[in-house]
Amino acid sequence: MKPKYKRVLLKLSGEALMGDKQFGIDQKIVQYISDELQGITALGVQMAIVIGGGNIFRGLEASAEGMERTSADYMGMLATVLNALALQNALEKNGLPTRVQSAIEMQELAEPYIRRRAVRHLEKKRFVIFGAGTGNPYFTTDTAAALRAVEIGADVIIKATKVDGVYSSDPMKNRAAKKFSAISYIDVLKKGLKVMDSTAISLCMDNDLPIIVFSLMKKGNIRKVIEGKKIGTLVNRGGSYAKRGKQKTQ
């Protein structure tokens, strides 16, 4: 089946890599994600990835406990690089070409982030993993995902989570929570829904970049989203499936 999107940015939370653990990286989950990504290679999609670091360190929580915010955020950025290297290892074990690009220079581990180089890697069908967030404190990896997606000209951000879409409240705590099949950027901001932080949502809205939120743990979902199947929740300007964002030909 022909993919709906040609260039995609996948946003993964650090917590997704924990599996059932309370901390750190579950290699079984990392391998599962790698296998899911291997399953899309036949589609010819260009795939970039941004991973959070919350399974190792959360700068905002450390700041709330008294650590200086800038130092805490830099520690969180380093945690995302650990996750990026773990995913790179799993992808390469599956025979998939990858590059890790870091917003903070660490030449022994990763390339520095250079937009043109990242685009060239994507054109060569390499998986590009962006680490260290934006390289700046006070910005989340959600904002990093939105920024990188806009910079590389992605057609869509697909956000893989533990739940199967966006709900009116936390479905883990409220069984009456309503799931949205589609919702507008403005409604996400007005309702204070935890899709991505407000800076990331605003950046996507300003650039008409759609977001699809879906469950990571249902096998085959990444491929289904890329093929354009209606799973999870679509976030776009109109709050409907009538228009699924700009289709770029690059």
Give the global pTM.
Answer: 0.92
Q: Is 20 exposed, middle or buried (0-12, 13-18, 19+ CB in 10 A)?
A: exposed
pLDDT tens-digit map of 1-34: 789 999 999 999 998 898 888 889 999 999 999 9
* Residue 25: Cβ within 10 Å count: 20
Residue type, 133: G
CATH architecture for residues 7-236: 3-Layer(aba) Sandwich (3.40)
Residues 30 and 161: their CA atoms lie apart, in Å, by 14
The tokens of 239 are what? 């709050």
Percentage of the chain modeled with pLDDT above 70: 96
What's the pLDDT at 206?
97
Residues 149 and 39: their CA atoms lie apart, in Å, by 22
pLDDT tens-digit map of 161-204: 988 999 998 888 888 999 999 999 999 999 999 899 999 999 99
